[in-house]
Structure formats: structure tokens, C-alpha cells
């Protein structure tokens, strides 16, 4: 299988691809994790936000992340999601590495991690940066990468 990584501002993504990205996020964060929250929070459309995704050679979106605050001293990576049938292939790691490339000019990169993923994000240099918190019934921790 060929994996293609793409990134674009929301306005530059064709409708079928954008639909697939947003559906993936809904499938993972709202349906699978049984967490009713407004995924469409307005930040996807911000001028300093990029959506990053991995697709196969047929254009099927398999994983996605969101990078916010591009160009600012503090930037953020979030909405890290992989389709259930695409897990175990390292796609999220590929997208995280791309996200870190895109945020290379940031002094600090922040993310809110599900608590059980602390070690996974630690592989990319992120460290615990605050107290645990509950987000829609799921334990989370604030993490940061200082450069």
C-alpha cells in the first residue's frame, strides 16, 4: 500500500476529502469514544491552521491531524485520529513527524493527550506540562515540546 501525506488549509481541500477527514474525526472521537462534543469548533477554518492527512493510492483518508497557530511562537497539534481499519501501520507517527516539521519555527508545541498516550507522544519529545484533566469523560494530560 502506498501512503500519501497531504496538508492544506480548509479552503483548499476538495469537498470529498474534507468530508472524509471530518467523518474520520467524528467516527473516532464522537462515535468510537462515545464523547458528544462539537468537533467543528471553528478552528479548522482559521488562517493559521492546516489539516494534515494520510491517504492511500485510491484517495481513502486513513489518518489525520490538525496543526494550529502556524507562524506563532506557540503552536498546537491536535485531532490526531486514525481509522480503525488503518491502525497499527504507524500512520499517526508519520503525521506527527510531519506536524513537527510544519511547526519547526515554534518555540513550543502544545497538545492535549489522552492520558494513556503519554509515552507515545513522549517518543516525539513531548513532556507532561500540567495537571491531568477530564475532557468529555476521557482522562487527558497537557503536554508540550519546548525547543
How confident is residue 33, by pLDDT bands cut at 50, 70 and 90? confident
Q: How large is the average pLDDT for residues 54-62? A: 97
Position 103 pLDDT exceeds 80: yes
Say whether pLDDT at 38 is over 90.
no
Q: Given a cut of 90, is residue 1 above it in pLDDT?
A: no
- The span from the CA of 135 to the CA of 147, in Å, is 27
Given pLDDT bands bounded at 50, 70 and 90, which one contains residue 48?
very high
Cβ neighbours of residue 49 closer than 8 Å, sequence gap 6 or more: 9, 10, 43, 66, 67, 68, 69, 70
Phi, psi dihedrals of residue 32, rounded to the nearest 5°:
-60, -45
Q: Report the pLDDT value the prediction gives residue 119, as an integer from 0 to 100.
A: 98
Domain 4-146: which CATH number of 3.40.50.300, 3.40.630.30, 3.10.20.30, 3.30.390.30? 3.40.630.30
Q: Which residues of 64-79 are buried (b: 16+ CB within 10 A; e: fewer)?
A: bbbbbbbeeeebbbbb
Amino acid at each position: 500500500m502506498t501512503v500519501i501525506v497531504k496538508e492544506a488549509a480548509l479552503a483548499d481541500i476538495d469537498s470529498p476529502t474534507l468530508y472524509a477527514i471530518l467523518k474520520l474525526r467524528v467516527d473516532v472521537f464522537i462515535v468510537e469514544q462515545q464523547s458528544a462534543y462539537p468537533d467543528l469548533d471553528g478552528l479548522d477554518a482559521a488562517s493559521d491552521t492546516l489539516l494534515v492527512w494520510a491517504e492511500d493510492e485510491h484517495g481513502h483518508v486513513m489518518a489525520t491531524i490538525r496543526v494550529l497557530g502556524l507562524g506563532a511562537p506557540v503552536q498546537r497539534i491536535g485531532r490526531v485520529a486514525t481509522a480503525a481499519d488503518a491502525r497499527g501501520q504507524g500512520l499517526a507517527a508519520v503525521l506527527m513527524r510531519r506536524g513537527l516539521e510544519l511547526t519547526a519555527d515554534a518555540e513550543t508545541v502544545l497538545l492535549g493527550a489522552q492520558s494513556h498516550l503519554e509515552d507515545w507522544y513522549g517518543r516525539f519529545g513531548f513532556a507532561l506540562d500540567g495537571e491531568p484533566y477530564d475532557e468529555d469523560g476521557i482522562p487527558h494530560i497537557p503536554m508540550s515540546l519546548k525547543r
